[in-house]
Structure 1
Amino acid sequence: MTTTDIPSAVPAWGRGIENQRRANLGDGTYRNPVMGGDYPDPTVLRVGDRYYLTYSSFESSPGIVLWRSENLVDWEPVGPACPEPWGSVFAIDLVEHAGRYYMYIPFMPTSWSRVDAPTIAVMWTDDIEGTWHGPIDLGLRGYIDPGHAVGEDGERYLFLNGIDRVRLTSDGLGTVGEVEHVYDGWHYPDDWVVEAYSLEGPKHVQRDGWHYLVSAVGGTAGPATGHMVIVARSRSIDGPWENMPTNPLVRCTDAAQPWWSRGHGTLLEGPGGQWYVIYHAYERGAQGLGRQILLEPVDWTDDGWPVARGGDLTAPLP
């Protein structure tokens, strides 16, 4: 199945819906993409037995369309959460804390925006499918890709591209103290063909007493082999961060593969306790469709590192 299978009569907005319906093969397997079309920088949150997803909506208004799924493969739109974005919306983090839902959002300057520098803001709600409040300016300038985390100390933090970090107030609607640099990332071999180092997209997850940071390096839209997902872990939210010995978790290793620039991943537990990594990539020969959403099963080694099972993604996956 390729995106060229979608009939031209299907409206552009509906092509993503039609393509992700075709992802589910009905026999306990699926094919990527699970959302076909331009849905970059996906962020996914599990709420009970349901999953919610949003992505970079850029200059769309209303913006930040929320989607829901029961299985991470079949998605349906809930609707936009931000009626009047302050600027172009880059990579968001969708999270839950103490029964309340938050979106941490980077707004970027445009010809029409109300911001004149990259600005991190937050929106919140007590009903994830209801009305979202905000945005509220967190006073952070010059950063993108916020990633929410809760430490073993119970404090809330926001990781940023770089990877820098700032502490949040207990309600998650403000910051405390200064931004600090906390992690240098994992450095790929010098002979790998990439766009730029570009350490970004930090996502935090806890498992078996470990804090994991899932980030992206290599540049977003350059060479096919550039963008990738890397993993580090620590027993403490304050580090030190140990890079995974088998990094990267996900990467296109050859331009002959069907999916290029595979990166910006979220690691999460899916149905039945199976873990997955969900991320974006360009389809070889159809880059004009934008960054589509891919899903790979993840297994864990005995010493607590994730291993993506998808290979080059040409075969159906469970």
Structure 2
Amino acid sequence: MTNGRTSRSSALEETLTGPNFSTSRRDALAMGLSAASGIALPAPASALVKVETIEPCRSSSKSMIVARGVDGQRLADLGNGRFLNPVLAGDRADPNILKDGEVYYATFTSFNFYPGVVVWHSRDLINWSPIGPALTRPLGSVYALDIAKHQRRYFIYIPVRVPPVDGVPPEQPFRTYVIHAKSMHGPWSEPIDLGINGYIDPGHAVGEDGRRYLFLNEGMRVPLTDDGLATAGALEKVYDGWPIPEEWEIEGVYLEGPKLLRHNGWFYMFSGEGGTAGPPTSHMVIVARSQSIHGPWENCPHNPIVRTASRDEPWWSRGHATPVQGPAGDWWMVYHGYE
């Protein structure tokens, strides 16, 4: 099963706060693994339903008590100010997080399940509750989407796999839609077809010029109208990705899942590479930065900042991350993986 995971990375902290990419890959890996074992929670734990003991795994030397929810899922909150990944167990592919004041909202790939695009909310990134589905009319198989807030309105950009039709490449049968609302609780608009065919994994961004853009897989980008409900120009390739070493065991390059963040005068683009359906070491998270939304994009010399380096690790195919600032002001990444 695919699981949403939260990891703190010293490389991410340096990326967002330091003048250059200068944290070692070893530090990033160690911090990601150690911080994943537990952090202080800023809010009280929610009610725990069933408690059991988990025996130590490769990365731990002690047994720990965990709780089970009403559906038998493992709960992340250990009830003692610490948490155990995953923060959301189950089929939670391609997590996307929006921080809106003191509240966090999340959505996940929902594929062919309808109602789809269930919105979740949390105040601590650990305890999550569903609000409800944002998409009720079947469009096709929903892939990795993106939540955005712009000028007090919320948007969800949704790529959908559709049956082969005119204008949609048969080898990449995808269309991209958008829905919008005044609140993440809805009601949501009817889906609007953006006319973007053959691409997936939209990532919304606002440039230094105030214009809105969607970044897509394969390093593509398209400008949007001011209201974000239509395209305003042609697709163009703006990023080539990070060169994966030839000796690494992966599924393929598969540059996808761009998530854009503007911080301290820089734009940061977090992407997935390596493929999600390949060997345990395939998927990974890379980051590049630019002082302009138009590039050029500088790859971090310590890429990848999240990756399963060995099939001996307890979590496989870690990737497709969204960076998010925690309640304490520190930075985390939420990503998926297989246990």
TM-score normalised to the size of structure 2? 0.77
Question: What whole-Å deviation, never above 9, does each CA across 1:153-197 have from its counterpart, x for those lacking one?
Answer: 000000000110000000000001110000000012111100110
1:85 and 1:265 map into 2 onto residues whose CA distance is 26
Alpha-carbon distance, 1:6 to partner: 7.9
- Choose the corresponding residue for 1:225, options 260, 281, 287: 281
Match of 2:99 in 1: 46
- Choose the corresponding residue for 1:254, options 310, 333, 338: 310
| Aligned positions of 1:1-318 closer than 5 A | 1=54, 14-15=71-72, 18-19=73-74, 22-109=75-162, 117-283=173-339
2:325 and 2:206 map into 1 onto residues whose CA distance is 17
Structure index of larger Rg: 2
**Which SS does the other structure have where 1:248 is aligned?**
coil
Pairs aligned (count) = 270
1:27 and 1:191 map into 2 onto residues whose CA distance is 43
Question: What whole-Å deviation, never above 9, does each CA across 1:123-170 have from its counterpart, x for those lacking one?
Answer: 000011121102100001001000000000000000000110000000
2:283 and 2:175 map into 1 onto residues whose CA distance is 24
Q: Which amino acid aligns with 2:268?
A: Y
Alpha-carbon distance, 1:26 to partner: 2.7
**Which SS does the other structure have where 2:99 is aligned?**
strand
Unaligned runs of 5+ in 1: 284-318
Q: Which amino acid aligns with 1:95?
A: A
- Which of the two has greater strand per residue? 1
Task: Name which structure has the greater RCO, CA cutoff 8 Å, separation 6+.
Answer: 2
8 A Cα contact 1:88 1:110, kept in partner: no
Match of 1:313 in 2: none
Over aligned residue pairs, what C-alpha RMSD do you find? 1.7
Unaligned runs of 5+ in 2: 1-53, 56-65
Q: Which amino acid aligns with 1:211?
A: F
1:98 and 1:221 map into 2 onto residues whose CA distance is 38
Alpha-carbon distance, 1:109 to partner: 1.7
1:232 and 1:173 map into 2 onto residues whose CA distance is 27
**Which SS does the other structure have where 1:162 is aligned?**
helix
1:99 and 1:178 map into 2 onto residues whose CA distance is 27
Alpha-carbon distance, 1:24 to partner: 1.3
1:209 and 1:89 map into 2 onto residues whose CA distance is 34
8 A Cα contact 2:273 2:285, kept in partner: yes
2:191 and 2:236 map into 1 onto residues whose CA distance is 24
1:62 and 1:85 map into 2 onto residues whose CA distance is 8
Q: Which amino acid aligns with 2:142?
A: V
8 A Cα contact 1:146 1:158, kept in partner: yes
Alpha-carbon distance, 1:25 to partner: 1.9
1:274 and 1:134 map into 2 onto residues whose CA distance is 36
1:29 and 1:188 map into 2 onto residues whose CA distance is 35
Alpha-carbon distance, 1:249 to partner: 1.0
1:85 and 1:275 map into 2 onto residues whose CA distance is 36
Alpha-carbon distance, 1:45 to partner: 0.3
